[in-house]
Chains A and B, each alone.
Chain A
């Protein structure tokens, strides 16, 4: 993989953008990182804008998602952006996270520049009219309702609301029916104007470079105005560290879910690699204790037990989850405690450590299996200050983890936790 950070020459932009030649060229562009791959079958681009949950007011929870949805429904050449990109031979999706929203544009290499020009047009003339906002809000409301039916999502969101409590980054991704109903076209236009800006944005170009990757990057970069994003909205509450507390809620689910949440170090930190290894170790131990599969299960939500390292927000966290439908979920809690107690009491043997590192390495590589994954991972690490090439550097860091580092990390991060319990509603058969 060729990892190349680009400093875009601003002066040359106007010449390279015939469709936007008349548009004023911004004095500063977003940071652009390129991870081209000669063997990739498609070209992709991830745009991170500082328009995350933490920039929306609490009483407009869901606004970041409504704006992103309205953007991909914005008419471009007579078609909604997502449809126009599909007809051009590509796709566009978005994800709203605590501290940013990111869009992923992908296309056949020969059509990428065209797809990027459509995206740039939508960014230039987004439609936040009453009809557009009503449509986007309806979609986001539907997603908000659906997320209540997934025990892992509910449990993880409960934990996030605690550990990200300092700002609004812990608000639910899709908001709530009540707050979405409050969102007006003016709210959406303001949020877009304030937060879809060059400063703090990152573009990661990935996959096949020829013929249009760099051209596409520049087209999108050129339409983001050069200013800072709005202030992050403080919650007025103190951040709550994980400290053996319990959160309980009820949902229409067939079985209970337990989600344990732990504080964890951010990417780039010295403790990041040891905690990646610990998280793998815990996930494997919990999995083997409950329902060992011979062949792997495709998605996290389908697995009865598992662990996830949430390093997409600052601060980071680790969660361990168990689905009651797959066995006794309290066994997961006991297993984690056993693993940590054992680690604290005595270091792993070299053989055990080698296995744990192999699994952590594998888990990290699975995080970048596709071009979308890879561009997200690179951009996320860069956004959090770990460096443009951290996805490559983290593998040797895992290999260098020592038993002593694991013990230290186990004591530092895995002795206090928050428990989120999602129970079926009473009366459910």
Chain B
């Protein structure tokens, strides 16, 4: 047969293990449905507030493996991964330090059906050993690809250096050894706690009417997820880390920033990140152009519960001159920009915010992230040019932004440097 679905592959799977009882009839803690008049392509997302390393002793990768295990298991019918694919959609699963995101982008006509299946599969998870095995294979591939990425290598080291404790210290994807340590019973226990209806935020975008998906999700919720936001403590004196890598030379810096609750300051940090770190037009890229041609710059302010994180990444050059150039740019923004430069930068930044929320998936990502972090109304997509976020963006002044920069960019950052790995060593590593 040509169309061999994952359901057929898993037809002989072990009997499903129901994990939670009494969840039937429940609805997500918070439900956000955004209708639109674009093409009939919908994003159905479930967000759960849960540390990527689990609720006890840190187990790197447990959230990702648990989320993929549910998607691959024959829970209440066809596994979600197969159901989404057979609906003409695409499934993505991502974990962050303090949340798990399950995304199905599907033709809008299938949105209610997929929302129902996803909500049921996750909040009444019925894992199978076979689904768990399938997920382990998938996570192993994703982890291997991720670890070859210089951005990921830099982030891993920067987050480890910036935080003394808490889930922000760790990567979402495990190493081979860490993956091997994630036993099935631990996955089951994590899923049982993390994937509860009362810990879920459901977001659906790209549909023309909200009633069918609200019905599929069991109704509308307006509460906070029950799990407390994960807390990470920044190091008092973050170290500088140097390591060799085939991805080198590269370096990065990470600064602890304002919490999401300080919305105006967080917005100012977003503005600064865009002004400084845009890959083509940012002030750092412009300054590096003459000093280190061919070097690429990236970065962002990550709005988190507490603290936020400003990331700066420079790939292709880790020389003292390149670093000094970046540091000078970071110092310059601690003084107010002139009015003309500031206004042009703000226009570019507002456009970038709007540009990044075009597709149904981007809109759902945006709404879900801010909801799970505890500030749904602050989501940039919420209200567009007239929304709360962009109203704050319009309220920024050069003086206020400089003041925020002085507060958060004066502190010593975590610094990570990747030096080029000798060829022989790289080959040995690859063989291993």
Contacts and interface: CB of A to CB of B under 8 A. Distances in A.
A381 to B, nearest CB: 13
A400 B98 CA distance: 46
Interface string B66-81: 0010011000000001
Contact of B351 (A39, A90, A369): A90
Contacts of B412: none
Given A38-B37, A288-B4, A358 B351 contact: no
A295 B381 CA distance: 26
A297 to B, nearest CB: 9
Interface stretch (B85-93, B196-204, B251-259): B85-93
Interface stretch (A102-110, A239-247, A262-270, A412-420): A102-110
Interface stretch (B155-163, B185-193, B342-350): B342-350
Given A284-B3, A294-B81, A352-B3, 17 more contacts: A37-B38, A39-B35, A39-B36, A40-B38, A41-B355, A89-B347, A107-B351, A108-B385, A207-B358, A294-B134, A294-B138, A295-B81, A342-B2, A348-B3, A365-B41, A365-B88, A395-B40
A331 B88 CA distance: 24
Interface residues of B, number: 53
A87 B2 contact: no
B91 A1 contact: no
Contact of B2 (A106, A111, A281, A360): A281
Contacts of A51: none
A296 interface: yes
Interface string B320-338: 0000000000000000000
Contact of A87 (B89, B90, B135, B344): B344
B39 interface: yes
Interface of B: 1-6, 35-41, 68, 71-72, 81, 85-93, 105-107, 110, 134-135, 137-138, 141-142, 281, 344, 347-348, 350-351, 354-355, 357-361, 381, 384-385, 427
16 contacts: A1-B37, A37-B37, A41-B355, A83-B281, A106-B355, A108-B354, A110-B385, A111-B347, A281-B3, A292-B6, A295-B93, A342-B2, A352-B2, A352-B3, A355-B86, A365-B107
Contact of B138 (A83, A295, A365): A295
A296 B281 CA distance: 31
Interface of A: 1-2, 37-42, 83, 86-91, 106-111, 207, 281, 284-285, 288, 292-296, 338-339, 342-343, 348, 352, 355-356, 358-363, 365-366, 368-371, 374, 391, 395, 429
Contact of B71 (A37, A86, A294, A359): A294
Name the 8 nearest CB pairs between A and B, nearest first: A362-B88, A89-B347, A294-B138, A39-B36, A358-B88, A296-B90, A365-B41, A87-B344
Contacts of A292: 6
B207 to A, nearest CB: 11
Nearest to A115: B351
B138 A91 contact: no
Contact of A366 (B3, B41, B91): B41
Nearest to B39: A368
B24 to A, nearest CB: 27
Nearest to B359: A369
Interface-centre pick from B81, B92, B351 (highest chain A CB count, 10 A): B351
Given A89-B348, A296-B91, A360-B88, A42 B2 contact: no
Given A296-B91, A365-B107, A370-B359, A356 B41 contact: no
Contacts of A365: 39-41, 88, 107
Contacts of B360: 369
Contacts of A281: 2-3
Contacts of B106: 362
Contact of A1 (B35, B38, B385): B38
Given A41-B357, A90-B351, A111-B351, A295 B3 contact: no
A295 B142 contact: yes
B39 A1 contact: yes
Contacts of A87: 344, 347-348
Contacts of A42: 351, 354-355, 358
Nearest to B88: A362
Contacts of A338: 2
Nearest to B357: A41
A42 B384 CA distance: 9
